[in-house]
Amino acid sequence: MWVVFETVNDGRSVIYLPFDNLKNYMQVHFGKNREIAKVIRIMGKNLNSTYENPIKIKISSSLKEKLLIKETLKYRLIVKENSIIIGPVIGFLLGSHNNLYSPIHMEKYSDRFGIYDKVGGLIYAFSPNTVDWENRKIYGLYYNINNLKWEYGVFPFPDVVYRRNFHSSNLIIKRLRLELNDRVFNSHRFNKYELYEFLRKDDYFKRYLPLTKISNEENVIFMLEGFEKVIFKPIDLSRGRGILIAEREGDKVKIYDYRKKEDSILKIEKNVFMNFLKENKLLSDKYLVQQYIKLKKYKDCFFDIRIVMQKGENKAWDCSGIECRVAKINTMVTNISKGATAHSIDSVYKSLFNDRAEEEKRNLIDFCKNLCSYLDTMGEIFGEFGIDVALDEEDNFWVIEVNVFPSFKGFKQMDYLTYLNIRYNPLLYAKSLTEFEGD
């Protein structure tokens, strides 16, 4: 049932409920807070409540303060055995930097609340630095649905945490997982090489991986002997940052350098290429050297595909959206941040595959579902992935990257409704992990 709270001045822990057959004292749950309260039964309430017409429930000021309930929100309430459960309480973990937690910065998260009427409860953002472990309180900002603003507050430990940033200590994440019974999703961010090593253990997925090695002198020589063109990537960066492509041309190496704001192309002698890599700190365990995939073209431009896979209310992996990222003319980098543009897969596939377009699209989605299920066997808790797939000139597809912290800028440009649904799904998934699953 949907409820709103009205505070009555009372030094006792008291809650007034319109139910029969309740015990005189029951445990009230709000997030991870627990408090024994006296239950006073009231009559005459219509129990067919909705988000638009919630039941007004009276609660003592003492109980409200102990549980840290915000009176301005709409909540779900259920009774299970000897417990009264109020919520849900969902936490956004956005990283350790304090500047991430201000009303101005948090505005960009407000569009996620278009489905608040499907979720309800307390949704707040917090930093690992603002967790008071001893007193079991968390300081942060919550979204006040009444005035559509982010406001500072003190909160209970949440029912579930949606991790949307990875500048947090792994020890903190482990502690939160322990506190919340593993209800911390996106619990781990793997780097590109960790992903490669995990996928190549499976014979099926190994076929879809471009050969990838740590960038040291021996591996670079091996890769340049085996492939006409290779790509250098930072092991831990995304969005096209730090990329360099090297192509053999006789006794020379042609370099396409995308590491800086302005792209550049140069040719150097093959025998000084290693010195170039050393001087630019590209021979490092922080860089990978990878087989370059000859991308298929759409309207004479290279493109790849970003598939957003998410768990929603049903806790199963589903495709939330697909964009084809089409590079600028004469450019090999397909990241939106590097000037690529987003196109719908339907328009691109119809142009490339004609009558096979729907079949090819289904095959791609089925592959991504299988990939997500396999990644779940890592032993971590994942809720969303941005899977980057490349189509080569023979229509084979290759897994380029799986991002646990994907960007949705292309969808925002291309299809705003799809973008919003992508933004909504993590809240629906978070709710499904609480006692209000299916409510």
Q: What is the pLDDT of residues 9-25, one digit of tens each?
A: 999 999 999 888 889 99
Residue in the block written with tokens 């994942």: 382
| DSSP 8-state symbol, 392 | B
pTM over 0.85: yes
Cα dist from 199 to 132, 213, 389, 417, whole Å:
39, 14, 14, 33
pLDDT at 351 over 70: yes
**What pLDDT digit, counting tens, does each position of 225-264 carry?**
999 999 999 998 666 678 899 999 888 999 988 887 777 8
Q: Which residues contact 134 (CB under 8 A, 6 or more apart)?
A: none
**What pLDDT digit, counting tens, does each position of 374-430 carry?**
999 998 999 999 999 999 999 998 999 999 988 888 888 889 999 999 999 999 999
| DSSP 8-state symbol, 295 | B
Residues forming beta bridges with residue 386, ordered by sequence position: 308, 403
What integer pLDDT is reported at residue 330 of this predicted model?
79
Q: What is the mean pLDDT of residues 268-280?
A: 90
By the 8 A CB rule, do 230 and 210 touch?
no
pLDDT at 292 over 80: yes
What integer pLDDT is reported at residue 240 of this predicted model?
62
What integer pLDDT is reported at residue 52 of this predicted model?
94
- Cα 51 to the center of its chain, rounded Å: 27
Side-chain-side CA neighbours of residue 410 (13 Å): 28
**What pLDDT digit, counting tens, does each position of 100-116 carry?**
788 999 999 999 999 99
Residues forming beta bridges with residue 319, ordered by sequence position: 309
Q: Which two tokens stand for residue 288?
A: 């990978």
What integer pLDDT is reported at residue 334 of this predicted model?
80
Residues forming beta bridges with residue 77, ordered by sequence position: 86
pLDDT at 168 over 70: no
What integer pLDDT is reported at residue 259 of this predicted model?
83
The answer to whether the peptide bond before residue 88 is cis (omega within 30 degrees of 0) is yes
Q: At what angle do helices 345-353 and 357-375 cross, to 10 degrees?
A: 120
Cα dist from 105 to 28, 55, 99, whole Å:
34, 34, 8
Q: Which residues contact 171 (CB under 8 A, 6 or more apart)?
A: none
Kindly report the number of other CB atoms within 10 A of residue 230's CB atom.
26
What integer pLDDT is reported at residue 335 of this predicted model?
76
**What pLDDT digit, counting tens, does each position of 298-320 carry?**
999 989 999 999 999 999 999 99
pLDDT at 45 over 70: no
3-class secondary structure, 299: coil
